[in-house]
Structure 1
Amino acid sequence: MSKKKERQLPETLGLSPVGADSHAHLDGRDNDVDAVLARALACGVRTVGNVFLGPAAYREGRALFERHDDVFFLLGVHPHEAAKMTDADLADMRQAFSTDPRLRAVGEIGLDYFYDFSPPETQQHWFRRQLELALELDQRVVIHCRDAEDDCLEILDDMGFGGRPLLWHCFGLGPEWAEKLLRRGWHLSVPGTVTYAKSEALREAVRIIPADRLLLETDAPYLSPEPYRGKRNEPALLGFTALEIALLRGENPHELWARCGDNARDFFGLAD
C-alpha cells in the first residue's frame, strides 16, 4: 500500500515576516482570529487586510482585531447583496470611513453575473453609488468582478477611475485583460488559483504584471493554494502562492515575497 504524501507545512517555507495578505475574510464566527493571525505571522505574513462585507459586518466584527495593529480594513457591499442595499448602508459606510483610520479602501465592490443573487441592473446601480462614495471620500477601491468584465470596465471608465488607486481583487484572467487593467494604472491581486495547473491564462498573465503592481491575497477562507486545495484557506498559506508566482516569473521567492508585501502596504497607505 502506497503511503500518502504529506503536505509541506507553510512554516517550513522560511519566509521572513514581511509578507502581506491583501484580502481575507477573517471575521466569520467560526474563526479564532488570534490563532489565525499567530499562524500567519509564524509563516511570514505580517500585514492582513480584512474585508467587511457591509456595515453590519463591520460593526459586529471590528472588535475582533483590536489587539492586532497589523490588520487593516476594507468595507463595501458585495454585488451579491446589491438587492438588499439601501441609502442607509451608504450613510453608515460614510460615517465609518470618517471615524476609523484603519479603513483603507471601499471594497470589495463590483459586479458578479456568475450567480443570480441580485439583478445586473441593481448591481450596476449600487456599484456606481459606492464608486461615487469612494470619489467623495478620496478612497481607494477594491474591485470584485466575475463574468462581468466588460460592464465593470465600462462603468469604471465612465466614472473616471483610470489612473486612480484601484486594486482588482482575485485577478484570474489572462494576459489580454491584465494589459487592459494595467494600462489604466491599476494594481492586480493574485490568489491561490495561480497554483492550479489548469489556470493557464492566469499563470501566463502573472509573468507580465509589473513588479510594483503585483499583490498577493488568500481570499480566505476560499481558494486555498496547492498543496492545500480543497482545505480551508487562511493567511498562513499565502507563501505557497508567492513561491509559485516566483517560479513562473523566474524570480527569487524571498525577494518577491518582500516586494509584494511592500506593494500592499504602499497601495493601502500603511506606515512601514
Structure 2
Amino acid sequence: MSKSKRPEPESLELPLAGVDSHAHLDLDDFDEDREAIIERATASGFSQIMNVFLGPDAYEKNRGLFDSHPQISFLMAVHPNDADQLTDDVLDRMRVHFKADPRLKGVGEVGLDYYWERVPHDVQKSAFIKQLDLARELSLPVVIHSRDANADTVAVLEEQGFRDYPVLWHCFGAGMDLAETVVANGWHVSIPGTVTFRKKSDDVQAAVARIPFDRLMIETDCPYLAPEPWRGKRNHPALAVFTARRVAQIKGRSLEDVWRITGDNARRFFGL
C-alpha cells in the first residue's frame, strides 16, 4: 500500500490573518523559488511574515529581496553563535539601520547558544547584553534565541531589567517550568513545527496547553523544522498552518480561532 499523499497547506483554506513570526527567507535555500514561496504563504493565509536577518551584513545584502513584498517585515541581530563578531562598528551600523528603516520591527534573534559551543559563554553574554541595551534604547521588541541555555538566558533578561518588556521566546521547545517563567515575566512564546512531533514533544504540548492565548505566536524558523506531515522537508511559511492546526488541537479551539488570535498577537507585538 502506498503512503497517503501529504496535504497541501492551501487545502486548509485559512483566512488571510496569520503571521509567521520568524522566517529566514533571505537564505540561499530559497534562491530558486523565493517568489513562489512568498505567493504560497499568502495563498495559505499569511498576511505577514517576519524575516530575520542574521546581522547587518545580511540585512544590507538581502533586504532588497523583499522590496516588492510590503507584507514582509524585518528583524535583525547578531546571533549568539556569531557573538564574537559584534564589534562597536557592527552595533553602530545596526543602530543606523533600525533608525532609518521602519520595516525593521525588532532586535533578534539574540540570546545564548550552549549547544554548538562556537563562542565562549562570557562573549555570548556580553553580546546579548549590548543588543538588549540597543533594543531598550530604541524601544524595540526583543526576539530570543536560547538553546541549552534557558536558565542563563532568563537570568540575563531578569538582571538587565527586562521583566514586562516585549520579549518573544523564539522556537519555544521546553516544558512547563520555562513556560511559567516566561508568562510570569510578561513575555511571549513562538511555537515552531516541532510541536507536531508527537513522540518527542509531550512536554512542549503540555506547556502550550497552559500558556495563555494572548502570549502565543506561530513560526516556521524556515528553512528548518518543518512540521508534520512535512517533517524532514525544507520548511517554508505556508507549512506553519499545520503547526497552527496542532496548537488548535492542544488548546481545544478551532483552527481559525488560533490562526486569527496568534496573528493578532504578532501584529500587536511587532506593531504591524
Q: TM-score range by the shorter chain?
A: over 0.9
The one-letter amino acid paired with 2:261 is: R
Q: Alpha-carbon deviation of 1:55?
A: 0.2
Q: Alpha-carbon deviation of 1:181?
A: 0.7
Q: Secondary structure at the match of 2:106?
A: strand
Q: Secondary structure at the match of 2:186?
A: coil
Structure 1 unaligned blocks of 5 or more: none
The whole-number CA distance in structure 1 between the counterparts of 2:214 and 2:141 is 17
Q: State how 1:229-268 maps to structure 2 within 5 Å.
A: 229-268=231-270
Q: Alpha-carbon deviation of 1:130?
A: 0.6
Residues 207 and 249 in structure 1, CA contact (< 8 A), matched pair in contact too: yes
The one-letter amino acid paired with 1:199 is: S
Equivalent residue number for residue 205 of structure 1 = 207
Equivalent residue number for residue 46 of structure 1 = 47
Indicate yes or no: 2:85 matched with 1:84: yes
The whole-number CA distance in structure 2 between the counterparts of 1:185 and 1:30 is 35
Residue range with higher mean Cα deviation, 148-157 or 47-56:
148-157
Indicate yes or no: 2:157 matched with 1:135: no
The one-letter amino acid paired with 2:206 is: E
Q: Secondary structure at the match of 2:214?
A: helix
The whole-number CA distance in structure 1 between the counterparts of 2:154 and 2:62 is 31
The whole-number CA distance in structure 2 between the counterparts of 1:233 and 1:155 is 31
Q: Alpha-carbon deviation of 1:4?
A: 1.9
The whole-number CA distance in structure 1 between the counterparts of 2:192 and 2:159 is 28
Indicate yes or no: 2:230 matched with 1:228: yes
Indicate yes or no: 2:115 matched with 1:119: no
Q: Alpha-carbon deviation of 1:26?
A: 0.3
Q: State how 1:4-43 maps to structure 2 within 5 Å.
A: 4-31=3-30, 32-43=33-44
Q: Between Structure 1 and Structure 2, how many residues are aligned?
A: 269
Indicate yes or no: 2:212 matched with 1:184: no
Q: Secondary structure at the match of 1:144?
A: strand
Residues 78 and 110 in structure 2, CA contact (< 8 A), matched pair in contact too: yes
Q: Which runs of 4+ in 1 moved over 3 A?
A: none
The one-letter amino acid paired with 1:253 is: L
The whole-number CA distance in structure 1 between the counterparts of 2:9 and 2:140 is 34
The whole-number CA distance in structure 2 between the counterparts of 1:70 and 1:33 is 14
The whole-number CA distance in structure 2 between the counterparts of 1:172 and 1:52 is 22
Q: Alpha-carbon deviation of 1:138?
A: 1.2
- Give the TM-score normalised by structure 1: 0.97
The whole-number CA distance in structure 2 between the counterparts of 1:152 and 1:206 is 20
Output one character per residue of 1:43-78: Cα deviation in whole Å (capped at 9) or x when no partner.
111110000000000000100001111111000000
The one-letter amino acid paired with 1:133 is: L
Residues 33 and 65 in structure 1, CA contact (< 8 A), matched pair in contact too: no
Structure 2 unaligned blocks of 5 or more: none
Output one character per residue of 1:249-268: Cα deviation in whole Å (capped at 9) or x when no partner.
10011111011111111100
Residues 26 and 62 in structure 2, CA contact (< 8 A), matched pair in contact too: yes
Q: Alpha-carbon deviation of 1:176?
A: 1.6
Q: Alpha-carbon deviation of 1:30?
A: 3.7
The whole-number CA distance in structure 1 between the counterparts of 2:27 and 2:178 is 32
Output one character per residue of 1:230-254: Cα deviation in whole Å (capped at 9) or x when no partner.
0000001010000011001100111
Q: Secondary structure at the match of 2:156?
A: helix
The whole-number CA distance in structure 2 between the counterparts of 1:112 and 1:91 is 24
The one-letter amino acid paired with 1:104 is: K
The one-letter amino acid paired with 1:34 is: E
The whole-number CA distance in structure 1 between the counterparts of 2:37 and 2:9 is 13
Residues 29 and 223 in structure 2, CA contact (< 8 A), matched pair in contact too: no
The whole-number CA distance in structure 1 between the counterparts of 2:6 and 2:29 is 24
The whole-number CA distance in structure 2 between the counterparts of 1:173 and 1:64 is 34
Q: Alpha-carbon deviation of 1:84?
A: 2.2
Residue range with higher mean Cα deviation, 7-16 or 25-34:
25-34
- Give the TM-score normalised by structure 2: 0.97
Output one character per residue of 1:111-155: Cα deviation in whole Å (capped at 9) or x when no partner.
000011111111011001111111111111000001111111111
The whole-number CA distance in structure 2 between the counterparts of 1:269 and 1:186 is 16
